[in-house]
């Protein structure tokens, strides 16, 4: 929103000089700004309420069901692009998708367009009455100052000596105030902040951190990492490591192991690449889990396992493409033989839906 109050101030002073009329004129333009700000807040809250009422956004698992369901259906048609982006950077992929979904849901754009002007007029009328219902200049200006402070976070300074205001000064103030409001054009539709900037909306997505090994999205609540102790740790149903590009050092085959199944005494390599092709760190998995890079996660099996089969289904569908993208090799056939999947995508999705519905009801 352009801040033209300074120019407005100069104009008014030229027009009216230092008088109660100029005060009324200047305050009117500030009050218009207040009404715009209040209308934007109100419409934005209304838009958030509308979106929060949809069942798919009830909680993180419902959101993720919709997300992975749409993604899986795309993979089913042979289009792997979105899924590959997701498994490479889950946080960015789900956040972008979520933002697009909520902005396009029942056309938020149209909702804002429809609501803004009526709400603006309502707010302006209420502010105007709040000022004009006062019985003295001093009180009216004090009410206006409060509105300006609340809505615009500005401290308005009156240039008149209010203690010397006469009844006729108040009349001049009111006329100038009303005249200016009457001649003010309806504002154009302002730019609204994305709905995702509302914490009430964004928290429905849950924690969007992902396991640095397998790429599984955390199942914790939004902002849980701010807690102290164990509650701060991210946790998830770890998925096949190859989904996030983990491979065997040397042979470069994608691995099929999940973080919670990897043997503690097995060796892992990570960190910057050295000249001889080794990595900066080599240690047992047990040690790696306590390493600075990884200690903010739990690597034990998670009780929430509804999505496990779906992730395995994704790996079966995508492993060749993931390997190609990362210049790696698909899993060893022996290992891949152990990644069994008898169910169809429809069965898998139906099972997830039933489990989630039971949890939502419970």
Residue ranges binding Zn ion (CB under 5 A): 207, 209, 211, 213-214, 216, 218, 220, 234, 238, 259
**In DSSP terms, which residues pair with 240 in a beta bridge?**
258
Residue 316 CB, shortest distance to Zn ion, in Å, is 18
Sole residue written with tokens 């909680």 = 59
Q: How far apart are CA 163 and CA 168, in angstroms?
A: 14
Shortest distance in whole angstroms from residue 258 CB to Zn ion: 7
Cβ closest to Zn ion, residue 174 vs residue 234: 234
150 vs 266, beta carbon nearer Zn ion:
266
Among 229, 217, 262, 269, CA closest to 247: 269
Least Cα distance to 353 among 51, 61, 72 occurs for 61
With respect to Zn ion, which residue has the nearer C-beta, 1 or 231?
A: 231
Q: Which is nearer to Zn ion, 145 or 212 (CB)?
A: 212
Q: Which of 322, 321, 338, 329 is nearest to 256 (CA)?
A: 338
- Residue 123 CB, nearest approach to Zn ion (Å): 39
> Between the CA atoms of 36, 41, 46 and 47, what dihedral angle is there, to the nearest 10 degrees?
90
3-state SS, residue 210: strand
**Least distance in Å: CB of 267 to Zn ion?**
17
Q: What is the DSSP letter of 57?
A: G
Distance of alpha carbon 160 from the chain centroid: 46
8 vs 239 by CB, closer to Zn ion? 239
Nearer to Zn ion, 32 or 216 (CB): 216
Closest among 253, 223, 222, 227 to 240, alpha carbons compared: 253
User: Among 136, 158, 154, which Cα is nearest to 25's?
Assistant: 158
**Beta carbon nearer to Zn ion, 166 or 291:** 291
Q: In the chain, which residue ranges form alpha helices assigned H by DSSP?
A: 5-16, 20-52, 60-76, 81-88, 90-104, 108-132, 137-152, 167-183, 199-202, 285-290, 308-325, 333-337, 345-361
Q: Residue 159's CB: how many other CB atoms inside 10 A? A: 12
- Cβ nearer to Zn ion, comparing 115 with 301: 301
To Zn ion, the closest distance from the beta carbon of 57 in angstroms equals: 19
Nearest-approach distance from CB 335 to Zn ion, in angstroms: 17
To the nearest whole angstrom, how small is the minimum distance from the Cβ of residue 71 to Zn ion?
Answer: 19
Integer angstrom CA distances of residue 352 from 90, 236, 290, 356: 20, 16, 33, 6
3-state secondary structure of 356: helix
Q: Which is closer to Zn ion, CB of 90 or CB of 220?
A: 220
Cα–Cα nearest to 150, from 40, 256, 37, 227:
37
We find the least distance from the C-beta atom of residue 151 to Zn ion, in angstroms, to be: 36
**Least distance in Å: CB of 221 to Zn ion?**
8
Kindly state the smallest distance separating residue 304's Cβ from Zn ion, in Å. Answer: 13
* Residue with Cβ nearer Zn ion (6 or 303): 303
């Amino acid at each position: 929103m352009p801040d033209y109050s300074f120019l407005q101030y100069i104009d008014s002073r030229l027009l009216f000089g230092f008088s109660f009329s100029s005060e009324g004129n200047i305050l009117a333009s500030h009050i218009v700004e207040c009404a715009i700000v209040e209308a934007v807040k109100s419409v934005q809250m209304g838009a958030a309420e509308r979106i929060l009422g949809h069942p798919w956004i009830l909680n993180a698992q419902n959101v993720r069901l919709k997300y992975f369901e749409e993604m899986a259906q795309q993979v089913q048609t042979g289009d792997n692009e979105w899924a590959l982006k997701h498994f490479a950077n889950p946080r960015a992929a789900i956040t972008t998708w979520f933002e697009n979904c909520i902005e396009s849901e029942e056309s938020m754009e149209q909702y804002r367009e429809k609501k803004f002007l009526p709400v603006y007029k309502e707010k302006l009328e209420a502010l105007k009455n709040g000022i004009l219902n006062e019985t003295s200049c001093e009180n009216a200006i004090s009410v206006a100052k409060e509105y300006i402070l609340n809505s615009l976070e500005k401290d308005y300074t009156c240039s008149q000596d209010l203690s010397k205001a006469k009844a006729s000064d108040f009349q001049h103030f009111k006329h100038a105030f009303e005249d200016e409001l009457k001649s003010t054009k309806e504002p154009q539709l302002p730019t609204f902040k994305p709905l995702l900037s509302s914490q009430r909306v964004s928290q429905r997505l849950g924690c969007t951190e992902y396991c640095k090994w397998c790429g599984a999205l955390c199942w914790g609540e939004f902002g849980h990492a701010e807690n102290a102790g164990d509650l701060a740790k991210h946790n998830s149903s770890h998925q096949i490591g190859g989904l996030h590009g983990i491979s065997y050092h040397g042979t470069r085959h994608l691995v099929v192991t999940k973080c919670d199944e990897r043997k503690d005494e097995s060796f892992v390599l990570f960190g910057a690449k050295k000249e001889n092709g080794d990595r900066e760190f080599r240690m047992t998995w047990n040690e790696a889990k306590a390493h600075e890079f990884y200690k903010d996660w739990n690597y034990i099996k998670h009780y929430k396992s509804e999505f496990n089969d779906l992730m395995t289904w994704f790996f079966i569908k995508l492993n060749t493409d993931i390997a190609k993208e990362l210049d790696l090799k698909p899993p060893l056939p022996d290992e891949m033989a152990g990644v069994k999947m008898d169910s169809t995508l429809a069965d898998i999705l139906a099972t997830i839906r039933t489990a989630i519905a039971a949890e939502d009801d419970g």
